[in-house]
Amino acid sequence: MIEKLREKRERARERGEPVLRDESFDLLLKTVEKYKPKKILEIGTNEGLSGIAMLLTSKDAALTGIEIDEEKIRIAKENYKEFGLEDRAKIFSGDASEILPVITGEYDFIFLDGPKGHYFEYSSFLLPILKVGGVIFADNVLYRGMVEGKAPHKHATIKNSMQNYLKAVTENQNLSTTLYRIDDGVAITEKLK
């Protein structure tokens, strides 16, 4: 199954889809394997390929995704079905900035992979719905080297949001965050209390 998924990822990448990079993908699966979450939230579903990988890795998990692009949602649903996962995965259609303030329930794993200029804004909604012992896996936190280096004016919003996100998750005493300098940068945050 995971081999078939890797092929799908390759084909989606060739079509120009923003597929999670390989090292980060392997780290995602290792992290899901370690924590074995039951309730996963994914901000930015795209075609559902990382969602499928997480569900195949954590066999008892249910996945909730948020995705703004209707066509991506259609493809993701088809993909979930192809892997027999349609009963374990649902998608909220719309803008995460509107959905996160009203989302209910608690999650023990959050994959933060939506619009890069909103991570800090989202964190204030995500931290309260993250269970103690749960994890936020945030991709692209070094954003092409711009978060720690220079960024052209047009990327200033992303740089600021990422810097504020990283500050928020590293300085909060209730959280433990590890930054991985792989691919585009991954931050894994565990909620300690």
Ligand X SMILES: C[S@@+](CC[C@H](N)C(=O)[O-])C[C@H]1O[C@@H](n2cnc3c(N)ncnc32)[C@H](O)[C@@H]1O
Binding segment (CB under 6 A) for ligand X, from list 54-62, 109-117, 158-166, 177-185: 109-117
Residues that contact ligand X, how many (by CB under 6 A): 19
Q: Are 74 and 91 in contact (CB under 8 A)?
A: no
* Binding track over 9-38 against ligand X, x by CB under 6 A: ---------xxx------------------
Cβ proximity to ligand X: between 20 and 85 the closer is 20
DSSP 3-state percent helix, strand, coil across the chain (nearest 5): 50, 25, 30
Alpha carbon distance, N-terminus to C-terminus of the chain: 36
Cβ 192 to ligand X, closest distance in Å?
26
Contacts of 47 by beta carbon, 8 Å cutoff, 6+ apart: 12, 17, 72, 75, 76, 79
95 near ligand X (CB under 6 A): yes
Cβ proximity to ligand X: between 72 and 88 the closer is 72
